[in-house]
């Protein structure tokens, strides 16, 4: 029986992700507990890279605390790689993200990268998305309008209490969505007036999944 904890598996994928960091590059960095381990590992090789573009204020603070330069996305060109975690990831490498509330900036930074490397422990690997609620970032005045439309899509939205995104918006966490076709559901949610972004990453899916398991890190493409 394995003695590895969930944090052990997160540390393992964080270390493995360093293999995907090109020298002399500016890379995209996501947000969350697994990414925090990655940032700590990145600090060990910070002399090899030029810096990072961060997807959240929290990650920016952690990167700067390690002395890693952080750049605005608008000041750099295409990123070679974006490394981030997931709340769920399926066999097609579609994901649900946004548990930390940084989904919009994560999706923007991911869109600027040639390759998206997802780092996760095996508990996040699922055959069907949707057990984890889908975060939807909404403009505050549209909260009720968006919530009604999400109910029409089969979901049960709940306001994330006491939380404001780095963009100054609200999060609706949508439970019980039947996500048989992630790309179609992502599109349907994003088309609701007042939605800034939703946490289904099907269009902006991962290219590589580094999955922490009891028997080591699996590389899934």
Q: Is 3 annotated as a binding residue?
A: no
**Contact indicator for 60, 84 with CB cutoff of 8 Å:** no
Residue 3: the pLDDT is: 78
Q: Are residues 104 and 67 in the same domain?
A: yes
Residue 1: the pLDDT is: 54
CB count within 10 Å of CB 35 equals: 28
Note the pLDDT tens digit of each residue in 81-90: 999 999 999 9
The answer to whether residue 118 is domain-embedded is yes
Q: Are residues 41 and 112 in the same domain?
A: yes
The answer to whether residue 94 is domain-embedded is yes
Instruction: Classify 43 as helix, strand or coil.
Output: helix
Domain count, the chain: 2
| pLDDT confidence tier of residue 4, bands split at 50, 70 and 90 | confident
Residue 200's closest CA among 172, 179, 171?
Answer: 179
Q: Are residues 84 and 146 in the same domain?
A: no
Catalytic residue among 88, 106, 137, 149: 106
Q: Is 86 annotated as a binding residue?
A: yes
Q: Are residues 121 and 207 in the same domain?
A: yes
Residues 6 or more apart whose CB falls under 8 angstroms from that of 148 comprise none
Residue 2: the pLDDT is: 61
Q: Are residues 15 and 106 in the same domain?
A: yes
Q: Are residues 90 and 36 in the same domain?
A: yes
| Percentages of the chain per state (helix, strand, coil), in multiples of 5 | 35, 30, 35
The answer to whether residue 1 is domain-embedded is no
What does the DSSP assignment read for 137-164?
A: EE-GGGHHHHHHHHHHTT-EEEE-TT--
Q: Are residues 152 and 56 in the same domain?
A: no
Q: Are residues 107 and 150 in the same domain?
A: no
Q: Is 16 annotated as a binding residue?
A: no
Q: Are residues 110 and 148 in the same domain?
A: no
Sign of CA dihedral 155, 161, 166, 170: positive
Q: Are residues 155 and 48 in the same domain?
A: no
CATH code of the domain covering residue 66? 3.40.50.1360
**Contact indicator for 200, 182 with CB cutoff of 8 Å:** yes
For residues 194 and 138, give the distance between their C-alpha atoms in angstroms, rounded to a whole number: 6
> What whole-number percentage of the chain has pLDDT above 90?
97
Q: Are residues 192 and 106 in the same domain?
A: no
Statement: residue 143 has pLDDT above 90: yes
Domain that holds residue 99: 6-125+203-220
Strand order across the 134-138 sheet: 156-159, 170-175, 134-138, 195-198
Active-site residue flag, 78: no
| pLDDT confidence tier of residue 169, bands split at 50, 70 and 90 | very high
Q: Are residues 79 and 106 in the same domain?
A: yes
């Amino acid at each position: 029986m394995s003695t590895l904890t969930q944090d052990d598996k997160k540390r393992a994928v964080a270390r493995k992700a360093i293999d995907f960091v090109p020298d002399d590059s500016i890379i995209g960095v996501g947000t969350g507990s697994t990414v925090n381990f990655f940032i700590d590992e990145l600090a060990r090789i910070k002399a090899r890279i030029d810096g990072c573009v961060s997807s959240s204020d929290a990650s920016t603070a952690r990167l700067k605390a390690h002395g890693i330069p952080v750049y605005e996305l608008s000041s750099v060109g295409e990123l070679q790689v974006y490394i981030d975690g997931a709340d769920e990831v399926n066999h097609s490498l579609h994901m649900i993200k946004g548990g930390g509330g940084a989904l919009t900036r994560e999706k923007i930074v991911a869109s600027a990268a040639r390759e998206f490397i997802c780092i996760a422990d095996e508990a996040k690997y699922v055959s069907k998305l949707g057990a984890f609620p889908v975060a939807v970032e909404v403009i505050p005045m549209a909260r009720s309008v968006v919530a009604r439309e999400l109910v029409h899509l089969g979901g049960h939205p709940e306001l994330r209490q006491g939380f404001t995104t780095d963009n100054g918006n609200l999060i609706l966490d949508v439970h019980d969505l039947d996500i048989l076709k992630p790309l179609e559901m992502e599109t349907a949610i994003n088309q609701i007036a007042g939605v800034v972004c939703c946490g289904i990453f099907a269009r902006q899916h991962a290219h590589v999944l580094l999955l922490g398991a009891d028997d080591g890190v699996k590389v899934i493409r």
